[in-house]
Structure 1
C-alpha cells in the first residue's frame, strides 16, 4: 500500500544510488574538492568538457551596472590554460553577457542553451570559446538571496550538442545543485572576503574569549591566515618559520577549538561571532 502523497515509481535502489552519488558533492561544499565532485556527479547525467560556477547581480554602482563573481571552474581533462582563460572572461566580458544580467524569479530554476556561433561579441568568441574549441554551452540558473547563481557546462568538438533529454535532466538537477553552489560561494567567496576586510586577529581573540578558549598570538595569527586562504607554505614563509612548525601550531589551535579542518575553522568563527 502506497501512503497518500508519495510516488511508487521510484525504487529504493534508484534513491539509494542517487543519494550515494550526491553525497560526495554535499560533503565537498566549501572545499577545493567541490568542483571536481560536482563535475563527476553531473557527468553521470550529461557529460561536458568544462564546468563554470558564477554569481551575478544587478548593481548600479558597478562599472557596467552588473557585478559578476567567479566562483570557480573545472576541466575534465588536463588544461593548464583554463584558469587564465576564465580569469580573462570574468575580467573583460562577463559583465556584458546578457545571461549574467538576467535574474530568474525566486524559486525558479531555468536553463539556457547557446551555440558559440550565437556569441555576438567577436572578440569574446575568439578569446574564450575558440581557444578551447567550445561549440555548445548550457547554463542552469536560479535566483537565491537576490543574486543569480549559475552552473555553466561547455562542450568541445569531441562531444555533440546537448540533447533535449540531457537539458531536461540538467534543469531538474539544478533544483538541488544550485543551492549547493550558493552555500559553496558563501564559504569560498564571501567568508574570506569579509575576514580579509577586517582585523581578523582581533576577531579570533574576541571569538575565542567568548568561548572561553585561549589561543596564543602565533596560533591566532595562523588561524587568521588560514581563513584568508593562505597555504601552510605561504604562512611559513611570511612568519619565517618551518612549515612543520606551522602544522604543529595549527594542530594545537584546532585541538583547543575542537575542530579538525579549515572548513570547520570558518564555521567555528562565524558561529562564534
Structure 2
C-alpha cells in the first residue's frame, strides 16, 4: 500500500479557521512565554455538553460538535485498540462510534462496513498499533491502491481527506479520526496542530466513556465465518442444546458484535440479550467472550 503517514509535532501558535467565530474561552499552557506555547479554542457550552455526555449514547455526537467548533469535519470516528495475544492481528479493535453533522446515516453505514471487513488490515493504522505516545497521521487517499477497500470506504462515499490522532501505550490506545468529502479543502497545518492539542482534553473522556459504554462493534480477527461452522460442528459433537436465540447471539458475538449491537440486530431488549448470553455461556461452560472464542477453537 502507498498510504503516506505525516507525523505532526507541537506548534508555537495555532490559528482557527477564518470563517469560524472566535471562541469565548481559551485554554493556555501555564507559561504563555514558554517554548512550545499553544492555544486551544474551546466554547464552554460545547465542552460542558461533551463532559455531560460521557458514558451515554450521545457522547460521540457531542465529540463531533466539539471538534467541529474548531475544525470542519464531515465525519468523526472514535475507536479503542487493545493488545490481545489470542487475536491473529495481535489487537482487538473496538469501534466506539462515528458522528457527522451532515451525513450521519451514510457515515454509520460506511463505517459498519469498514469495521466489519477492513479495520484490522488498514494500511494507515495497522503500523500504529502498539506504539506508545501521541501520533498524528494523515492518509494520502490518492495513494491507496485500487481495490475494494478504496472503492467502498473512500471512492463511493466521496471521502477525500482523512487524519487520525492516536494516544496511548503498547497495551491500550484510543484513536480519533476526522474525514472530509470531495471538494472540501485539505486539512491545514494550523488545523492539524490544533487537533494535536486536543489530546489532553478529549482522551481522558474517551477512557471514561469506554469503561461505561459498550462498543458499536468489536473486531479481533480471531474467529471468521469458517469458525462459525466450527462452532456449529462442536455444538453437534458435544450435543449442546442451545435455543434459537442463544445460538444466534453466540454467532453474532463470534462475528465481533457486542451484546448491545447483537440485541439491536435481533430486535430484543438489552436485558433480554444479556439473559440469552448468560444461559448460553452456562451451557457451554464459558464465562467470557474470550472463552467463547477458545471454546470454538479447541477441538476436544
RMSD of Structure 2 on Structure 1 (CA):
3.2
Give TM-score scaled by structure 1 length. Answer: 0.61
Whether the aligned pair in 2 keeps the contact of 1:28 and 1:37 (CA below 8 Å) is: yes
Residues 75-99 of structure 1: CA distance to partner in whole angstroms, max 9, x if unpaired?
Answer: 2214433323211111111001241
Name the SS of the counterpart of 1:87 in structure 2: helix
Give TM-score scaled by structure 2 length. Answer: 0.56
Match of 2:184 among 149, 159, 175: 159
Between Structure 1 and Structure 2, the one with more helix by share is: 1
Query: For residue 95 of structure 2, what is the aligned residue in structure 1?
Result: 70
Question: Structure 1 residues 131 and 173, CA, compared in 2 at 3 Å: closer, same or farther?
Answer: same
Q: For residue 8 of structure 1, report the CA deviation from its aligned partner.
A: 5.9
After TM superposition, the structure 1 = structure 2 runs for residues 157-196 of structure 1, keeping only pairs within 5 Å, are: 157-189=182-214
Name the SS of the counterpart of 1:189 in structure 2: coil
Name the SS of the counterpart of 1:48 in structure 2: coil
Whether the aligned pair in 1 keeps the contact of 2:50 and 2:59 (CA below 8 Å) is: yes
Match of 1:103 among 122, 129, 133: 129
Distance in 2 between residues matched to 1:145 and 1:29, nearest whole Å: 25
Whether the aligned pair in 1 keeps the contact of 2:83 and 2:130 (CA below 8 Å) is: no
Q: For residue 47 of structure 1, report the CA deviation from its aligned partner.
A: 0.6
After TM superposition, the structure 1 = structure 2 runs for residues 231-270 of structure 1, keeping only pairs within 5 Å, are: 234-235=268-269
Query: For residue 29 of structure 1, what is the aligned residue in structure 2?
Result: 54
Distance in 1 between residues matched to 2:271 and 2:80, nearest whole Å: 33
Query: For residue 142 of structure 2, what is the aligned residue in structure 1?
Result: 117
Query: For residue 251 of structure 1, what is the aligned residue in structure 2?
Result: none
* Higher RCO (CA 8 Å, separation ≥ 6 residues): 2
Query: For residue 7 of structure 1, what is the aligned residue in structure 2?
Result: 31
Residues 87-132 of structure 1: CA distance to partner in whole angstroms, max 9, x if unpaired?
Answer: 11111110012414413654x3220011211224621110111121
Name the SS of the counterpart of 2:112 in structure 1: helix
Aligned residue pairs: how many?
192
Query: For residue 55 of structure 1, what is the aligned residue in structure 2?
Result: 80
Whether the aligned pair in 2 keeps the contact of 1:56 and 1:100 (CA below 8 Å) is: no
Residues 18-64 of structure 1: CA distance to partner in whole angstroms, max 9, x if unpaired?
Answer: 44431111110111111111111111111110111111234332133
Distance in 2 between residues matched to 1:88 and 1:171, nearest whole Å: 28
Distance in 1 between residues matched to 2:191 and 2:166, nearest whole Å: 16
Q: Find out whether 1:126 has 2:151 as its counterpart.
A: yes
